[in-house]
Amino acid sequence: MSPPLRQLALQFAALIAVLSLAWPYYGVRGEPLPWGGVVIAIGGFGAVLATLSRQPWWWRLIHGVFAPLAWLVAQLDIDPGWFLAAAILLLLVYRGALSGQVPLYLSNRQTALALAALLPSPANGHTPRCADLGAGLGSLLRPLAEARPDAHFTGIENAPLTWLGGRLLTLGQANLSWCWGSLWQASLADYDLVYAFLSPVPMGDLWQKAKAEMKPGSLFVSNSFPVPDVAPSETVAVDDRRQTQLYCYRI
């Protein structure tokens, strides 16, 4: 079961369990359900189920507070349309978090400069090519394309609003192509360097794709998330505040 479905199932199980006891109990007594207490019980039971099924600590916390917070917010009597609008907006930006457990966070300028040094120089009429898989708003590729006018860069992004933001921000950069689509559908055969800043979840599969498609001698670089069980050929420590590590794998 995928993680979002698993969490939904846990919360739903807590809801059903508490309501199936509370409803008949208060129904028989002819009393209205005390919703404040009921939602606290749902949260508590959800947290217990999450603990018993060994979910990470942040999921236990979310299960504990979800129902009470939902009930509290419902008391504010906000038009439901606002919640729909907020959910759509989040989906347009964070689509990757839902479909592949890859949220949006951005590379910094120091990382772009470190990558500029890793990209080969043009040789024998060949322009070096670099792709950012899940390119976000172009925070990496914009400074990189500026720093390396002798190379060509491609950003691939599949969250609609993020893609649009990146498209607008990269307008006018002649050596940068901005593509809509899934990184899993993109061919990696033409690139000398492929960069990914995703999450631990896709790294195993992405490495299989990189190995199968990238040309010999090219470089696969993952920001912060190493490929499981594969030793990098080099690790570059970026001199920035978060001590970024670039895991480099020579194909």
Ligand X SMILES: C[S@@+](CC[C@H](N)C(=O)[O-])C[C@H]1O[C@@H](n2cnc3c(N)ncnc32)[C@H](O)[C@@H]1O
What minimum distance in Å lies between the beta carbon of 163 and ligand X? 8
CB of 228 to ligand X, least distance (A): 18
Of residues 14, 66, 67, 157, which one binds ligand X by CB under 6 A? 157
Residue 105 engages ligand X in binding (rule: CB under 6 A):
yes
What angle is formed at CA 125 by the lines to CA 112 and CA 211, rounded to 5 degrees?
55
Helix (H, G, I), strand (E, B) or coil at 243: coil
- Residue 56 DSSP SS3: coil
Q: Give the 3-state DSSP-derived string for 170-236, with helices as H, strands as E and coil as C.
A: CCCCCCEEEEECCCCCCCCCCCCEEEECCCCCCHHHHHHHHHHHCCCCCEEEEECCCCCCCCCCEEE
- Closest to ligand X by CB, 154 vs 162, is 162
Which range binds ligand X by CB under 6 A, 123-131, 135-143, 225-233, 243-251?
135-143
Question: Is there binding between residue 83 and ligand X (CB under 6 A)?
Answer: no
Candidates 26-34, 44-52, 113-121, 182-190 — which segment interacts with ligand X by CB under 6 A? 182-190
CA distance 103 to 136: 10
Residue 38 C-beta: closest distance to ligand X, Å: 37
135 binds ligand X (CB under 6 A): yes
φ, ψ for residue 121, nearest 5 deg = -85, 160
Binding flag, residue 104, ligand X (CB under 6 A): yes
Among 11, 107, 170, 222, binds ligand X (CB under 6 A): 107
Taking the complex as a whole, the smallest distance from the CB of residue 149 to ligand X amounts, in Å, to: 20
156 near ligand X (CB under 6 A): yes
CB 193 within 8 A of CB 168: no
Looking at the Cβ atoms of 158 and 218, the one nearer to ligand X is 158
* Three-class SS state of 10: helix
State the binding string over 186-205 for ligand X (x if CB under 6 A, else -): -----------xx-------
Residues facing residue 172 across a β-bridge: none
Determine, following the binding rule CB under 6 A, whether residue 184 of this chain makes contact with ligand X: yes
Residue number, 46 or 96, with CB nearest to ligand X: 96
Q: Is 155 helix (H, G, I), strand (E, B) or coil?
A: strand
The answer to whether the beta carbons of residues 136 and 113 sit under 8 Å apart is: no
Reduced to 3 states (helix: H, G, I; strand: E, B; else coil), residue 120 is coil
> Which one of residues 136, 148, 152, 191 is an interface residue with ligand X (CB under 6 A)?
136
143 near ligand X (CB under 6 A): no
| Amino acid occupying residue 99 | S
Contact between 158 and ligand X per CB under 6 A: yes
